[in-house]
């Protein structure tokens, strides 16, 4: 294993290693998905719904997944050789294959996108952002309305277009109507819709079709949700902003915040994040804390009570990811646990039974849980 000093490891799950003397090996994985198969998002060359995990392809060289947008209905993942593969819905050209529309644009099996790509991948609702291996940032898909592709216009692009001219982009995230990205110098930038102040500009309503900086230069990693964001700084502090219905910003209120506000504690860099109405994060003690909407037991408390302040999910946790209706956590022993709504088989337990407390998915060495609207994906270490 190579030793790397005082650097951020961008090819690990959500960039969660802390800067310092860290040693690690380059793992390779199988890719698995389950839940609703609409638009071929499960990569099985069909649109069938699955209530148990099914492997995407036969490869064991996957490295990073990029799914997560509500109603995005597409997925992408890269391999250890730097190739990027896309599949699913393509009405707005969000697969980047220079095609768009229901047919022939959609793909129900992974299709390679030209180029050599990095590990910061994310899909929005009709658009996509990703970094290349050289540190440049690219976007494609729907640019209508709010300039989601950051080209200072409202144009739709069915092939990748570069955002700016920099080669210093690190992590990148997006959700409904907007995106954010962190540069390697610690700057945080956002663009697109600014409803509820989701871009951290101390204002709300103004859309930005080019990147605009959020104050500060010590940002490290981030997550975004439909109308807000969460980000961790290099000192381990966690900051949130935007829409706060159901108390999903963890402030013990339902007030929207158009500037970043801190959640007390020392947090991992950064495992967890938010979906539309609920949030969950893991602190440096491997404790999982969740808050917000809880209609289907999203928060793992064996109830459906709304919590506007953080409440702990028992166990020792390493990672957590969300679909719109469910949660998947990976414990420090590599086991995977799921809870929440299960109408589409999106808990992966071969049933449609809802669970408001964690239930285990068979297997160990799971990694990178990540959900779309009605689906869940994860990597399984070889």
What whole-number distance in Å separates Cα of residue 270 and Cα of residue 207? Answer: 27
What whole-number distance in Å separates Cα of residue 165 and Cα of residue 170? Answer: 14
Lookup: tokens for 347: 């808990």
Higher pLDDT, 82 or 126: 82
The vertex-49 CA angle with 59 and 353, nearest 5°, equals 115
Q: Say if CB 210 and CB 200 are below 8 A apart.
A: no
What whole-number distance in Å separates Cα of residue 343 and Cα of residue 34? Answer: 12
CATH number at residue 291: 2.130.10.30
Helix (H) or strand (E) holding 200: none
What whole-number distance in Å separates Cα of residue 70 and Cα of residue 147? Answer: 18
Q: Residue 163: what are its φ and ψ, rounded to 5°?
A: -95, 110
What end-to-end distance do the CA atoms of the chain give, in Å?
17
3-class secondary-structure state, position 98: coil
Q: Residue 39: what are its φ and ψ, rounded to 5°?
A: 65, 15
Lookup: tokens for 332: 């420090």
Tens of pLDDT, residues 130-143? 999 999 999 998 87
What whole-number distance in Å separates Cα of residue 291 and Cα of residue 119? Answer: 29
Instruction: Pick left, alpha or beta for residue 233 (phi over 0 → left; psi -120 to 50 → alpha; otherwise beta).
Output: beta
Q: What domain range is 42 assigned to?
A: 2-381
Tens of pLDDT, residues 208-245? 999 999 999 999 988 887 788 899 999 999 999 999 99
What whole-number distance in Å separates Cα of residue 44 and Cα of residue 48? Answer: 8
Tens of pLDDT, residues 236-289? 999 999 999 999 999 999 999 999 999 999 998 777 777 778 999 999 999 999
Question: Closest Cα to residue 163, out of 135, 134, 141, 136?
Answer: 136
pLDDT at 12: 35
Please return the burial class of 251, using the count of CB atoms within 10 Å of its CB with bins 0-12, 13-18 and 19+.
middle
Q: Residue 175: what are its φ and ψ, rounded to 5°?
A: -150, -160
Question: Closest Cα to residue 370, out of 320, 317, 303?
Answer: 320
> How, if at all, do strands 188-192 and 366-371 pair?
unpaired
3-class secondary-structure state, position 373: coil
What whole-number distance in Å separates Cα of residue 178 and Cα of residue 361? Answer: 33
What whole-number distance in Å separates Cα of residue 305 and Cα of residue 84? Answer: 41
pLDDT at 18: 29
The CA-atom distances, in angstroms, between 234 and each of 67, 199, 270 are: 25, 20, 10
Radius of gyration over alpha carbons of the chain, in Å? Answer: 19
How many domains does the chain divide into? 1
Tens of pLDDT, residues 83-120? 999 999 898 899 999 987 666 678 999 999 999 999 88
**pLDDT over 80 at 5, yes or no:** no
Tens of pLDDT, residues 294-352? 999 999 999 999 999 999 999 999 999 998 889 999 999 999 999 999 999 999 999 99
Instruction: Kindly state the percentage of the chain with pLDDT values over 90.
Output: 66
What whole-number distance in Å separates Cα of residue 18 and Cα of residue 305? Answer: 34
């Amino acid at each position: 294993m190579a030793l790397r000093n005082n650097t951020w490891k961008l090819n690990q799950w959500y960039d969660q290693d802390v800067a310092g003397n860290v040693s690690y090996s380059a793992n390779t994985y199988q890719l698995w998905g389950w839940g609703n198969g609409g638009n071929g998002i499960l990569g099985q060359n069909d649109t069938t719904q699955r209530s148990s995990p099914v492997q995407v392809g036969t490869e064991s060289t996957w490295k990073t997944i990029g799914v997560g947008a509500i109603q995005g209905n597409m997925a992408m993942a890269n391999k250890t050789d730097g190739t990027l593969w896309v599949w699913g819905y393509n009405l707005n050209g969000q697969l980047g294959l220079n095609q768009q529309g229901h047919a022939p644009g959609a793909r129900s099996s992974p299709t390679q996108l030209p180029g050599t790509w990095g590990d910061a991948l994310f899909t929005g609702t009709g658009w996509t952002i990703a970094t290349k291996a050289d540190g440049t940032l690219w976007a494609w898909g729907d640019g209508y309305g709010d300039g989601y592709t950051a080209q200072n216009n409202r144009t739709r692009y069915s092939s990748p277009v570069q955002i700016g001219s920099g080669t210093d982009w690190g992590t990148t995230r997006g959700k409904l109507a907007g995106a954010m990205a962190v540069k390697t110098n610690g700057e945080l930038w956002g663009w697109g819709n600014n409803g509820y102040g989701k871009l951290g500009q101390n204002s709300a309503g103004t859309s930005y079709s080019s990147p605009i900086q959020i104050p500060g230069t010590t940002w490290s990693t981030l997550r975004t949700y439909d109308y807000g964001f969460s980000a961790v700084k290099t000192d381990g502090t966690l900051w949130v902003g935007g829409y706060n219905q159901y108390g999903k910003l963890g402030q013990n209120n339902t007030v929207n915040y158009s500037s970043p506000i801190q959640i007390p504690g020392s947090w991992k860099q950064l495992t967890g994040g938010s979906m539309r109405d609920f949030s969950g994060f893991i602190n440096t003690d491997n404790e999982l804390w969740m808050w917000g909407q809880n209609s289907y037991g999203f928060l793992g408390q064996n109830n459906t009570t709304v919590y506007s302040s953080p409440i702990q999910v028992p166990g020792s946790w390493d990672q957590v990811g969300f679909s719109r209706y469910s949660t998947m956590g990976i414990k420090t022993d590599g086991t995977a646990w799921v809870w929440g709504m299960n109408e589409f088989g999106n808990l992966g337990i071969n049933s449609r039974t809802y669970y408001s407390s964690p239930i285990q998915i068979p297997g160990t060495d799971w990694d990178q849980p990540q959900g779309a609207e009605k689906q869940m994906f994860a990597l399984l270490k070889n």
